[in-house]
Structure 1
Amino acid sequence: MSLKVESVSCSFSGLNVLSDINLELENKGFLVVLGPSGCGKSTLLKLISGLITPNRGKIVLDGEDITGKPGMVSYMHQEDLLLPWLNILDNAALPLFIRGEKKTSARQKARELLADFGLAGFEQYYPGQLSGGMRQRVSLLRSYLYRNDILLLDEPFGALDAITREKMQDWLLDVFSSLSAAVLLVTHDVDEAILLADKIIVLSPRPARIREVFDVPFGRPRSRDVLLSSEYLKLKRSLWASLTH
């Protein structure tokens, strides 16, 4: 599996948002796009997901041009977008229902992954009965069931309180090793980027250009202890310098 963004530029009503973006996401990779608020990070994910079309450039998946074609990758928005009238099992299985899969089969596929996503025992709960972190887990499971090879995550923990956010980051670190997916996550949080990523791309303010690319010098499995190391401090200084240049 290989996802490539090739020389992509995008503007709206004459306002340049992204300029000449090139990036590549390989199988089982974890790529984080880091940039200031409002620089165009979410726009980049919408372009990759096919929800909008670039003015120039293309999106290529395994050699196929998928520019402007929705449904080719999974895209998890900042909000969980769960349906309040469906229980957790049916919210997770919703993409399979939409594809026309029989409900019994779709529910079984979702049920088999509940434990991996920390949701075992919550099948019959409704979104309003869950915490923000639990709702985000349901949303991520739903995205994974939609397409399990590429996950686009748009600041999925940004609306959570600090303690829940850290717990969700730790959980994602743990569950990522058991997923078959490659992940592209956008954030403006430097610590989150270092903790989760294999590689970090830093965007400039709008119109966003790739300012620098950093390899993260920590292997997997990984824990929050990396944030106490001298390598972390060195990388964080470099990222801040790039962001504020």
Structure 2
Amino acid sequence: MKYIDSHAHVFSPEFAQDREEMLQRAQEAQVAEVYMPNIDLASIGTMLQIEERHPWCHALMGLHPCHVFQDYREVLHEMEQWFEKRTFKGVGEAGLDYYWDKTFVPEQQEALRIQCGWAKKYQIPIILHTRDAFQDTFEIIREQQDGTLRGIFHCFSGTVEEAQAAVDQNFLLGIGGVSTFKNGGLEPVLQAIDLKHVVLETDSPYLAPVPKRGKRNEPAFLPYVANRISEIKSITLDEVAAATTANARNLFA
């Protein structure tokens, strides 16, 4: 039984003191692969060092919406140059975030469009962050969809209708620790949506699942998410692991 963590920031400073031990725990928990969505220019170096040392940890390239500022075009230009140097498993973490700050909403939207262009140009998936911004994110994805755009609505926490809309645009739902929260609200979604549209994630170091809630999250906690999905869908843990691992491998192939 193998798991894939489709979204973990293991390059984060929160892991600076015990990164090697944390990655060892992940492998002991049967996490076979970890996908690392980039955040900004500063995170690239550590991310690539981890990938070089641990080839089962895969680098993605993109600009997180919370790091989109006035200079976003220059930042994206510098990031795009990386695609000329090497391949990446995906684009991201891209998207829209209206929760923390709405100062740069137009810039966030344009940055998302540019990164959708990368995903189509290089024929790789895009990882979407959307917080208090599902409708606008969805509209941009629908606008950019040419039949080849695909990816993950990361940390999905919307309605059944929003889940179906995402699936209809050829996107998977990234399910993480929120699914284990008492008032997480994901039970209807997981009951309604076929497992073939779901991938597992931790979003480490954030959103640790129950019973680790409130602690620093890490990929080794992924089985708690899988177990919760198995309970909600009344299927075995093996079925959850097999399906979600196949979904992730197919997406990132």
Q: Which has the larger radius of gyration?
A: 1
Q: TM-score, normalised by structure 1?
A: 0.39
Q: TM-score, normalised by structure 2?
A: 0.39
Q: Which has the higher helix share?
A: 2
Q: Which has the higher strand share?
A: 1
